[in-house]
Amino acid sequence: MLDFKNINLLIVSDKRAHVRQLAELFTAITPIEFILDIAEDVDRACSQLREKPIRLILLDYHLHGNLDNRALIQLSNQFPEQPIIEFGDLHGQEIEQALLLDGAQDYLPLSRITSTGLMRAVCRSLERHRIISESEALKQNEHLLAEVKQVNDKLRSRNDEILQFYQTISHELKTPLTSIQSFASILDDGIAGDMNEQQREYLAIILKNCGHMAIVVNDLLTIASMETHKFDLHKKPVDVRALVERTVIAFGPIAEQSDRQLSMDLEDCGTFYMDDMRVTAVINNMLSNAVKYTESGGRITVALRDLPRDDAAEISVQDDGIGIDEQHLRRLFDRLYQVRADKIDRYKRSGLGLGLYICQQIVELHHGRIYVSSQLNKGTTFAFTLPKHGGEAYD
């Protein structure tokens, strides 16, 4: 639809009578509001066109006594997008045809033109111009879309390469790592003979670092399978209280070794439909972080709340550790996001910043929500909800 308000027109003519005649005709066209500008020659017209937007040019064919298309060609060369209607005293098929061939949208013989004829010509010209501009914009959009698609395809293939790299490197690391862990455990069990105090100490370091590395390798493998949609959940009915209790008890020795006080406060919630291994992994990740980011002697509490109104349960892991600055909270569940702070480096940063991202994915695959609240130097609580049916109907 054309916008009929404040249509800027530029009349290019050196003849006052022509300008007056056109101005009077325009005044008679009531539904449209025109703003008329006048230029006496092509140079002045050009500078006006550069200064402000003009919707349409009305160009005197008989400019400065010339009876040719020079002015038209000059204007359309400099402003190829600008619609131009020619007018003049003369009329005749030949003149009109020549002007149209040189790019004019119409020719109006002044001796015959009425305000209705003028309005029709102006509207037609503006509408034609609008359609052309829109189709140009569409073409431009299509071009941009094609470019975006190309960039997207490139990014997707880069992402696939990175995932492939994750997968290869983690597989390559997993096999020797498992072997190192097995032989170190054999030594630790004394199967290969007795060890002195120092050898035991060194072996403990080897085993601890193998443990860290195993977490990283597993995170990489999990991410690779998630992103390539090979990450399957095996949901089944599970007593959620029993699951949380088992997980906390199994984590007990780690908390004890690192001198953290681990307690639980669990409500009965009944049976939930979930992948128990994956939910255990989420709790374990939160527990490991709680140990990592608290001081020796710190307190960690795991709570389970029944949320009957939502037909869900909430599991939370609270610590009184170093806390997280508010500015980081929003991005904490992003892939590879880690808080950079001297204080954290003191807490022996390990991992790649994948743990919470994986937790979030697992919770969301159960149609639950995951969230965090924290206060710097006071402590942190990570929590997630699980809907009773794990987002699916079960029999």
Residues in contact with 387: Cβ distance below 8 Å, sequence separation at least 6, in sequence order: 310, 311, 312, 366, 367, 368
Specify the residue, 43 or 265, whose C-beta has the smaller distance to ligand ADP.
265
Residue nearer to ligand ADP on the CB measure, 79 or 337: 337
C-beta of 248 vs 356, nearer to ligand ADP: 356
Residue placing its CB nearer to ligand ADP in the complex, 163 or 344? 344
User: 56 and 85 in contact (C-beta within 8 Å)?
Assistant: yes
The least CB distance from residue 288 to ligand ADP, in Å, is 8
Q: What is the DSSP string of 80-136?
A: TTS-EEEEES---HHHHHHHHHTT-SEEEETTT--HHHHHHHHHHHHHHHHHHHHHH
Joined tokens for residue 25: 């005709």
What residues pair up with 274 in beta bridges, in sequence order? 236
Find the binding residues for ligand ADP in span 285-344 (CB under 6 A): 285, 289-290, 293, 319, 321-322, 324, 332, 337-339, 344
Question: What's the closest the beta carbon of residue 188 comes to ligand ADP, in angstroms?
Answer: 26
> Which residues, listed in sequence order, are joined to residue 239 by a DSSP beta bridge?
271
Quick note: the x/- pattern for ligand ADP over 259-288, rule CB under 6 A, is: --------------------------x---
- State the binding string over 348-367 for ligand ADP (x if CB under 6 A, else -): ---xxxxxxx----------
**55 and 8 in contact (C-beta within 8 Å)?**
yes
By CB under 6 A, residue 380 contacts ligand ADP: yes
Closest residue to bound ligand ADP by CB: 351
Which helix (H) or strand (E) covers residue 338, if one does?
none
Tell me how far, at minimum, the Cβ of 128 lies from ligand ADP, in Å.
59
* Nearest to ligand ADP of 274, 290 (CB atom): 290
| Contact criterion met (CB below 8 Å) for 331 and 374 | no
Q: CA gyration radius for the chain? A: 39
If one asks whether residue 240 binds ligand ADP (CB under 6 A), the answer comes out as no
Q: How far apart are CA 386 and CA 289, in angstroms?
A: 21
Instruction: By CB under 6 A, name the binding residues for ligand ADP.
Output: 285, 289-290, 293, 319, 321-322, 324, 332, 337-339, 344, 351-357, 380
